[in-house]
Amino acid sequence: MTTSHITEFHQRDLPAAQQFAVQGMHLDRYTSNTLESYLYGKLATYQAFDPATIALGAYVDQRLVGFIFARTMPNSAHRLNWHQRLYVRLAERVISWSPYQAEATTYDQANQQMFRQLRDPQPDAEITFFAVDPQMTGHHIGSQLLAAVEHRLAGKRLYLYTDSSCNYPFYFKRGFTANATRTLTLSPNEPVLTCYLLTKQL
């Protein structure tokens, strides 16, 4: 087990976080276009970082090896600067022309449907983005990050979205339960995908 230093995420590490996210989100399943993958990975990272009221990084020898972003509802932190916000607006427009936009829309709609299915008590906080350097898999970096964010959110009901292409059993082993599921076929060439909305009372 590698012991990392968990501290506030440094904005200068957004490019590294983006690389972890591209691999963790398996964007290569949707496009072989390197530029398209880069644009979407950067957009997704910015969109999750901007409203995060908690942004933690795991560092080993001052190198980012993982991160976790969360927000307490209904709060937003507005962490992006003006040129990063401009990038988000432009990238959203460019990606809306992508042939994969329909798949992304279907996925987002499934998440929205699952959230509407939630019963009281409503959740207080959401994990919006969570990734670990693939080279550090098996070193319990993810467990350390999750424990740190749970400590900061003690007493709250936490939720997150995940799916069967990710390491979703990780969350079940740590006390999360599935409150809603949706099964999707995003394209004829893709395997069936199961989407989960998971919650945990801290």
CA dist., res. 46 & res. 22, Å (int): 13
Q: What is the 3-state secondary structure (H, E, C) of 5-41?
A: EEEECCHHHHHHHHHHHHHHCCHHHCCCCHHHHHHHH
On whether the CB atoms of residues 101 and 107 are closer than 8 A, the answer is no
Q: How confident is the model over 131-189, as pLDDT tens digits?
A: 999 888 888 999 999 999 999 999 999 999 999 888 889 999 999 999 999 998 877 77
Task: Report angle CA 111, 51, 137 to the nearest 5 degrees.
Answer: 70
Q: How confident is the model over 79-107, as pLDDT tens digits?
A: 999 999 999 999 888 877 776 677 778 88
pLDDT value at position 119?
80
Q: Which residues 6+ apart lie within 8 Å of 33 measured at CB?
A: none
Selection from 46, 64, 47 nearest residue 8 by Cα: 64
CA dist., res. 201 & res. 136, Å (int): 28
Q: How confident is the model over 30-85, as pLDDT tens digits?
A: 566 677 778 888 888 999 999 999 999 999 999 999 999 999 988 888 899 999 99
- Phi, psi (degrees; rounded to nearest 5) at 187: -155, 160
